[in-house]
Amino acid sequence: MFDKLEDLVARLEELQDELSNPDVASDQVKFRNLMKEQSDLAPIVEKYLEYKGAKQTIEDSLTMLDEENDEELRELAKEELNDAKAQVEKCEQELKILLLPKDPNDEKNVIVEIRAGAGGDEAALFAAELYRMYIHYAESRRWKCELVSVEEIGIGGMKSVTFMVNGSGAYSVLKYESGVHRVQRVPETESGGRIHTSTASVAVLPEADEVEEIDLPEKDYRIDVMRASGNGGQCVNTTDSAVRLTHYPTGIVIYSQTEKSQLQNKAKAFALLKAKLLDMEMQKRHDEEADLRRSQVGTGDRSEKIRTYNFPQGRVTDHRIGLTLYKLDKIMNGDIQEIIDACIAADQAAKLSKMNEEG
C-alpha cells in the first residue's frame, strides 16, 4: 500500500507540472482529464502526508523519551506519542477507504425513474411523495432538476415520473436509492382506517457521457411527434412538441413532453435512452461479476425491497443496513442524508472486508 502511495505523491507532482504547461491548457479535453485526475489524487496524497507527519512525531517522541530526564518534558512526549499513534491508526483506515476502487460513474448526473407499484391510487400518491422528497433533497445540495416525463392521476398521484438531476457526484449519492420502496399507512380514501401496504420502484441511472460509445444507428429507432396531453399549461394540445422514441433492439419506448420545444423533448428522450442502454450494459457486467454485486449495498437488484416508510409509527427502516430512524416527516421532506451516509459507510465496510479477505 505504501509503495503505491509514494507513486501517487510522484504522480501528483507530475500532474501539477503538466497543468502549468500552456500547451496542455489549450487542449480542453486533456486539461479536463488531468484536472479530474488531480482532484482524485489530492485528498489521498494529503492524507498520506498527514500519516507520514504522525509517524515522524512518533519517532521524535520516542527519541525524546530515550534521551530526556526532565519529568515534565517526558510527560509531554508521552502525550504527543499517544496522540500521534491514534492519528496514525485513523489515517491508515481513511487511506484504505480512499484507495478503494472508485465507481467510474460516481461523478455523473443521473436520470431517476419512479414507478407506482402494488397498491393502486395509494401507490401513485406515494410515488409522487418520493418524487417531492428527491426534489427537496436535490435542492438542499444545490443540484438542478429537470422533468423528463410524468403520468399523473387526478388526485395528485403519479403512475410514473422521470427526471434528471444535474450536480457533481449525483450518482455517487443517489445510486443507493435504486430498489423498491414500501409505504405502510391508512390511505385517505380508506374509510375503515385499515393500514395498507403499497410500493413504488426507484431506478437511478447514470447519464451517458458524450464521449461514451453508445451505438445508436438510425435504423434502430423511430421518432414520432405528437401533441402533448395532460397538465402542461397553454402549449398542451396546440403544438406537436411531444416526442415518442422507440428503440427496436430493446423494445424501450420513451415519451418526453415536458418542454414546449420539440427539439428539447427530443434531446431529453435521447439522453434517457442512452442512460437506459448504459444501465443495461452495467447490469450485464454486474451479473457477470456476481461477487462484486453481492459486496455492494443496493446498487444491483432493482427488485430488492430496500426501505419501508411506516406512517403510523413515524419510522423509516432501511432493510439493507438495518437502520431505523424515527423522523419520517423530515425524511419525506428530503432529509435523507443520514440514510445515504449510512449506506455509503456500509458499502465501504463491505468492500474493505472483501479486500482484506483477498489480501
- 68: domain CATH number is 1.20.58
Regarding whether 301 and 331 lie in a shared domain, the answer is yes
Q: How far apart are CA 43 and CA 125, in angstroms?
A: 43
pLDDT attached to residue 61: 92
Do 299 and 204 lie in a common domain?
yes
Kindly state the cell numbers that stand for 143.
443540484
Q: Is residue 358 part of a domain?
A: no
Instruction: Say whether pLDDT at 301 is over 60.
Output: no
Using CA atoms, how far apart are residues 136 and 142, in angstroms rounded to an integer? Answer: 10
Mean pLDDT of 51-72: 91
Q: Kindly state the helix (H) or strand (E) to which residue 19 belongs, with its residue range.
A: helix 2-19
314 and 231: one domain? no
Is 50 exceeded by the pLDDT of residue 299? Answer: no
pLDDT of residue 116: 93
Mean pLDDT of 102-123: 88
Q: Residue 248's pLDDT is what?
A: 86
Same domain, residue pair 128 and 189 = yes
- Judge if 339 and 202 occupy the same domain: yes
At residue 330, the pLDDT reads 96
| Domain stops at, among 40, 73, 98 | 98
Query: 226 and 187, same structural domain?
Result: no
Does 180 share its domain with 127? yes
CATH number at 305 reads: 3.30.70.1660
Is the residue at 31 inside a domain? yes
Has residue 289 been placed in a domain? Answer: no
- Does one domain contain both 188 and 313? yes
Strand order through the sheet with 305-310: 144-152, 158-166, 110-116, 196-206, 179-185, 305-310, 315-318, 323-325
> Own/partner pairs for 281-284, CB < 8 Å, 24+ apart?
282/105, 282/206
**Rounded mean pLDDT, 306-331:** 95
In a domain, 104, yes or no: no
Statement to judge: residues 182 and 299 lie in one domain:
yes
pLDDT band at 202 (very low <50, low <70, confident <90, very high): very high
What are the tens digits of pLDDT across the range 125-136? 999 999 999 999
Q: What is the 3-state secondary structure (H, E, C) of 95-145?
A: HHHHCCCCCCCCCCCEEEEEEECCCHHHHHHHHHHHHHHHHHHHHHCCCEE
Mean pLDDT in residue range 300-326: 88
Last residue of a domain, one of 98, 125, 158: 98
Give the CATH number, domain containing residue 270: 3.30.160.20
pLDDT, residue 131, reads: 97
Contact in structure between 352 and 97 (CB atoms under 8 Å): yes
Cα 12 to Cα 17: distance, rounded to the nearest angstrom: 9
In a domain, 310, yes or no: yes
* Comparison of pLDDT for 260 and 340, the residue scoring more: 340
pLDDT in tens, 229-246: 654 444 444 457 888 888
Which of 283, 307, 330 is the last residue in one of the domains?
283
| 116 dihedral zone (left: phi>0; alpha: psi -120 to 50; beta) | beta
CB 240, CB 168: distance < 8 Å: no
- Domain of residue 240 covers 218-283
pLDDT of 85 reads: 94
Which pLDDT value is given to residue 210? 59
232: number of Cβ within 10 Å: 16
Provide the number of structural domains found in the chain.
3
For residue 123, is it within any domain?
yes
Of the given ranges (15-29, 80-94, 277-291), which has the lowest mean pLDDT?
A: 277-291
Task: Name every residue whose Cβ is closer than 8 Å to that of residue 164 and which is 6 or more positions away in sequence.
Answer: 109, 110, 111, 112, 145, 146, 148, 207, 268, 271
Looking at the domain assignment, is residue 213 inside a domain?
no
The cell 409505504 sits on which residue?
Answer: 183
Please tell me whether residues 22 and 72 are part of one structural domain: yes
